[in-house]
Homo-oligomer: A and B are copies of this chain.
Amino acid sequence: MLVGKRGRPRTFDRTVALHRAMDVFWQRGYEGASMTDLTGAMGIASPSLYAAFGSKEKLFREAVSLYNEVEGRVPQQVLRDAPTAREGIAGWLRHHARAYLDPARPTGCLVALAATTISAENEPVRQFVAECRQADVADIKRRLDRGVESGDVPASTDTAAVAEYFYAVSLGMAVRARDGVSGRTLHAIAEAALVAWDQVLDAARD
């Protein structure tokens, strides 16, 4: 009686297919990725996609979640495990300078690029991605707050503002990566953002 694996089993790996969909959304954005693009890359027909994921929008949301897990794991770990907030953020930003031009993946960042502008009917999708960006900023802010607790960040620091600053730099790097700038350029941007840590923190006070 218990629901097990009754019925005809899937002929494709759901996780593999989701990875393929993630790559398409990463390359083309939400609206730029057609169902034909998606089913082609996923190696399945349209009804299989709908049976497994529900709709294009639900597939996108799952793909973004997967992106956050897979592509975000290393930089988040760097951010978390570094001995100071400064080293954590520096490692996080330098990671992105490399990752955004990784030849094995689409350039730039899915969350930064995939839905900055959108048609009126898909506005909820833009909203969703905007919330993902907000969550990323919150991650950086939390690391700065931890730095305040452990003493490597001044207590008077407006950690939210500092987090917004470094996140804005990473967003710009993602756009410029997609534009085709060199890794040297991307790293120069990151180093310029990081060079004046003390002044940046000093300028941002509550």
Scan A107-137; emit 1 where CB is below 8 A from any B CB, else 0.
0100011111111101000000010011000
Inter-chain contact A192/B188, CB cutoff 8 Å: no
Q: Is A66 in contact with chain B by the CB < 8 A criterion?
A: no
Closest to A131 in B: B179
Closest to A175 in B: B171
Complex CA gap A119/B28 in Å reads: 6
The distance from the CB of A139 to the nearest CB of chain B, in whole angstroms, is: 15
State which of B113, B122, B176, B200 has its C-beta within 8 Å of the C-beta of A168: B176
Inter-chain contact B181/A192, CB cutoff 8 Å: no
Complex CA gap A93/B88 in Å reads: 27
Closest to A122 in B: B32
Inter-chain contact A203/B176, CB cutoff 8 Å: no
Q: Is A84 in contact with chain B by the CB < 8 A criterion?
A: no
Complex CA gap A200/B190 in Å reads: 11
State which of B31, B133, B162 has its C-beta within 8 Å of the C-beta of A32: B31
From residue 169 to 184 of chain A, which have CB atoms closer than 8 A to chain B?
169-173, 175-176, 178-181
State which of B108, B118, B130, B185 has its C-beta within 8 Å of the C-beta of A29: B118
- Chain B residue numbers with a CB within 8 Å of A134 are 179
Inter-chain contact A28/B117, CB cutoff 8 Å: yes
Inter-chain contact A195/B200, CB cutoff 8 Å: yes
